[in-house]
Amino acid sequence: MIKSTLLQAIQAGATELKKYFNGTFTIASKATLNDLVTEADHASEKAIFSVIQNNHPDHFILSEETGAMPTASSTKWIIDPIDGTINFANGIPICCVSIGVEQEGKMILGAVYNPFMNEMFIAERGKGATLNDQKIQVSNKSDLLSSCLVTGFPYQYLDTENGPLQIFEKLIRKAIPVRRLGSAALDLCWTAAGRFDGFYEHKLQAWDSAAGFLIVEEAGGKVTDLKGNPYSPYQPGIIATNGKIHTSLQDVINGGSL
């Protein structure tokens, strides 16, 4: 029942994305100039809420635009109605709807859907991960120097030791390709599908990674915080890899050399 609701909800959100994409809609800034929210974000969120609340009115909801809607339920829906809003607002089709389902503190289901590329990523704990119903698995590369990586940067630069720009520079000076797509949820899914060998980011919110990190794990990958501890979407830093380059990437992120 929960999985069926998840699929209905993510399709409902995606319908709103397709309705507004490349059209005319309102855009506003949130905390910083380029941290955007659009009319489509709100429409997608509303459509998702409607599906979930019709089927599971007692469930806890945490969503990017509305925030927490707590209940006594041990089941929580963690929602990003548009991950990659800047891309969406500029007509770039690298954006998606992302929904994770947590039960008793453990992520049990995750779905990420990019309707513009017609790619639906789904994972269920213990049952693997799929892309459009076909099983996916992480890449097999074992050398960081020959890997293809992806990352993202926070809206407010973290002026700390081994910050985002320092790590990026360290990697690209060794000619390691590091891409920036603008959607953490898709970065994680594309790592799960073996398109990237690893993903790292210094500052995410729970809705950015809740679904995607489960998809990576169920595709055979490894996900930790920046220090190598077990991952929780409620802390900011993440490293997600095929497992084979994880330690090497983690070392670089924490000040090691290549």
Q: Which residues are catalytic?
A: 64, 80, 82-83, 85, 208
CB 50 within 8 A of CB 42: no
> Rounded CA gap, 66 and 235, in Å?
19
How many residues are present in the chain? 258
Helix (H), strand (E) at residue 47: helix 39-55
Helix, strand, coil shares, percent, the chain, to 5: 30, 25, 40
SS3 257: coil
> Rounded CA gap, 99 and 185, in Å?
10
- Order across the sheet with 149-151: list the strands: 178-179, 149-151, 198-201, 238-241, 222-224
Three-state secondary structure of 225-256:
CCCCCECCCCCCCEEEECCCCHHHHHHHHCCC
